[in-house]
Structure 1
Amino acid sequence: MSLRVLAADRNRSEWLAAWERSRSREPFGHPDYCALFTAPGVTPLCAVREPEAGGEGLAGLPGALFPFLLRELSIEPWTAGGEARRDVAVPAGYGGAFLFGDAPFADPASAPRHAIEFWDGFAAWSRRSGVVCADARISLYEDEILPMTGWTRTQASDNVVVDIDRYRAHGGEGFSRSLRRNIRLAVRNGVRVEPDDSPEAFEAFLPLYHETMDRRGAIDYYRFSPHFFDGLKDLVVKGLARLFLGRGPDGTPLCGEVVLLGGRRAYAFLAGGGAAAHRLHANELVRSTICSWLAGGHWNEFVLGGGNKPDDELFQYKLRFAPEGRRSYHVGAVIHAPDSYTELVRTRAAYQRSRGLPPHRARRFPEYR
């Protein structure tokens, strides 16, 4: 098996060619999306295995591409000088080894073998590259990725998915009754929503997003760099994302939402709005308008994501757009160097104690982050 590791900057054309042959062109596999997360000590890469042709009477095998972020542990304040180890995570959203190419799994028994070979190859590369462990938020559409063999799977908070085919047929009848009422109120309040990909609209959206993150006390995971937002603006221009802006009766921007666009489905990505948007129910109208816009195109699902905790207020809000749209969601983890992993956990704990800080409580895997 030949596994190549490509960089988003140096090998963009090769990476893009593989992504363009993927089955649903998920935005999270695009090199330009992954490049948003470039930062000091963070390099966007992609492990790629090309499709294999079958011999006489034998089925071929699809290719697979696994986008990931290679993170240097040397930039962490709690590691010692000379630290050379790294770890891996997937870019924000959903990950896995996305299948590409024309060859289907005609023989179901070939899928696990193909997956084992891919992930064994990635594990070998990881050990050679000083990668201690890897963390992944697994795609909701596991028939479009290789099985995560060798990874530990953990069920996380459910996600919500709006069925756009159903919306196309029945409009907003699938929304909850209270949501439909709020959407009507927003229209009566004079709120207007439309897709607006202009630079001016994006600049109007940014303070709304930052205000929302400040108000909610969002963690650093949701506070992105200027490089990220410049790149996201480019994704909007390229048609890989779309910005929907809600304006008040006088044209003042009230709220907005950026949606990532894949080949089959769209994903809610960033949203923000001020107090006036909440009072006028503008946020609900924005998301309803997104559903209408998607229904006019080729998309069949709109993934809203989940909450911060199972069935929390945020999750319940999303569920109002798809009361029957609950989907199971998993995260994955794999440790390539168990001794190093244990040492890093101890190092982080010692760092906390040495500075009189409370014990570190990781939000998710790995335990030392």
Structure 2
Amino acid sequence: MPRDVLTAELPDADCPDTYFTAGYGRASAIARGGDWHCLGWQDEILLPYVVNAVRDGMYDAASPYGYSGIHVAASRGADDLARFWQQVKEHWRDLGIVAMFFRFSPFDRESLHGVASLDDIALTRRGDTVAVKVDDGPDAVWNNLRSSCRRQIGKARRAGLTAQVRRALPADVEPGAPFRTLYEQTMKRVGSADGYLFADDYYLTLVNGLGEGLVIVEVKADDGRVVAASLVFAHRDRVHYHLAGSDGVSSAVGCNNLLLWTILSWAADSGRRWVHFGGGLRPDDSLFRFKETFGGCRKQFWTGAAVLDPAAYERLVHEHAAATGKTAAQLMESGYFPAYRFGKGLV
């Protein structure tokens, strides 16, 4: 495997999922203040990542926020992956990358099994996510909804709420646009971390980078006001629920149920196979249980951690421990990776 195969940027249409595309990766890098890259072996092994500076020529990296990790085609075996990973580590060490945090796709268990054979990536199972299979058509999807969910959708319709799906445009993500306003109000209302509030450049990069792959879903009251909205990724046979918000009042009449049902029915009508709603803020919390009412199944979400420069990693952990009044052992046992970023927000 020659070294130059490590540079890889496939056309977005050839990527296995949205989270591997340059269009999404560059937006994710803007959100995290880093630089997006993708390493790969042709189109058969792909590893997208965002690099962030730590200090003094030291860096760390993470999968673009969401679900990618490493994709390994079925035609590639454990030996191919091991050779690829060895070259990646050498390349990253040359660049001063100390540690890498992976977020693996819940839809790609075979790649995860391959990564499990690499003894220097520690895997951790996180909370499950919810995915709904929609390729049997909207009627089958409707029948699989829980009765409580169908009642809420009916309540929304009786209240005069309607919903539509269309390609997202730059005007949809401008400051003050209905989606932006609803999303930001919702994040503040539920007390989300500042990292879930995105700058204008993030949204514009999504719109320009994903094109037809970025969809907006809006629920409107009978007076034309948008009372709930969501940005959705559509890529090949898969749809991902990305960001959403509502006015906090219309929720009582089922606007969020109508929003998610509209995503499901649109995906079924447009020939998709899966709609991925993601998980909750914590395992099996109220948000997760709400998503479960739309039927579907649980998908396991795994992360991975790799320390590429143990000496530098240990030094950074001890420095952060001294700065925060904790011990290095407390940081290492926190479950946060890299441990020296504990308390600093999203990676």
Shorter-chain TM range is 0.7 to 0.9
State the identity %. Answer: 25
Map Cα deviations across residues 98-129 of structure 1 (whole Å, 9 max, x no partner): 346xxx52xxxx51111111111111111111
Task: Report the CA distance shift for 1:290/1:235 in structure 2 as closer, same or farther (over 3 A).
Answer: farther
Secondary structure of the residue aligned to 2:67 is coil
Establish whether residue 176 from structure 1 lines up as the match of residue 146 from structure 2: yes
Establish whether residue 85 from structure 1 lines up as the match of residue 79 from structure 2: no
Task: Report the CA distance shift for 1:247/1:362 in structure 2 as closer, same or farther (over 3 A).
Answer: farther
Residue of structure 1 in register with 2:29 after alignment: 38
Match of 1:68 among 14, 33, 49: 49
Match of 1:121 among 87, 95, 107: 87
Establish whether residue 138 from structure 1 lines up as the match of residue 104 from structure 2: yes
Residue of structure 1 in register with 2:336 after alignment: 364
Match of 2:276 among 283, 303, 311: 303
Indicate the RMSD between aligned Cα atoms, in angstroms: 2.2
What letter corresponds to residue 16 of structure 1 in structure 2?
Answer: L
What letter corresponds to residue 256 of structure 1 in structure 2?
Answer: A
Residue of structure 1 in register with 2:40 after alignment: 48
Q: Distance in 2 between matches of 1:137 and 1:344?
A: 22
What letter corresponds to residue 51 of structure 2 in structure 1?
Answer: L
**Across the two proteins, how many residue pairs are aligned to each other?**
327
What letter corresponds to residue 266 of structure 1 in structure 2?
Answer: V
Match of 1:218 among 192, 195, 205: 192
Q: Distance in 2 between matches of 1:275 and 1:263?
A: 33
Q: Distance in 1 between matches of 2:335 and 2:261?
A: 32
Asked whether the 8 Å contact 1:167–1:174 carries over to 2, the reply is: no
Task: Report the CA distance shift for 1:251/1:37 in structure 2 as closer, same or farther (over 3 A).
Answer: same
Secondary structure of the residue aligned to 2:126 is strand
Secondary structure of the residue aligned to 1:16 is coil
Q: Distance in 2 between matches of 1:41 and 1:275?
A: 31
Asked whether the 8 Å contact 1:123–1:336 carries over to 2, the reply is: yes
Q: Distance in 2 between matches of 1:96 and 1:241?
A: 21
Residue of structure 2 in register with 1:57 after alignment: none
Residue of structure 1 in register with 2:345 after alignment: none
Q: What runs of 5+ residues in structure 2 fail to find an aligned partner? A: 342-347
Q: Distance in 2 between matches of 1:228 and 1:180?
A: 35
Match of 1:29 among 17, 20, 38: 20
Residue of structure 2 in register with 1:154 after alignment: 124
Task: Report the CA distance shift for 1:99/1:298 in structure 2 as closer, same or farther (over 3 A).
Answer: farther
Deviation at 1:188, TM superposition (A): 0.4
Q: Distance in 1 between matches of 2:122 and 2:287?
A: 27
Secondary structure of the residue aligned to 2:204 is helix
Asked whether the 8 Å contact 2:146–2:293 carries over to 1, the reply is: yes
Q: Distance in 2 between matches of 1:38 and 1:156?
A: 23
Point out the more displaced range, 34-43 or 246-255.
Answer: 34-43
Asked whether the 8 Å contact 1:41–1:72 carries over to 2, the reply is: no
Deviation at 1:141, TM superposition (A): 2.2
Map Cα deviations across residues 37-91 of structure 1 (whole Å, 9 max, x no partner): 334851100112126xxxxxxxxxxx212110011113xxxxxxxx111011011
Q: Distance in 2 between matches of 1:368 and 1:144?
A: 31
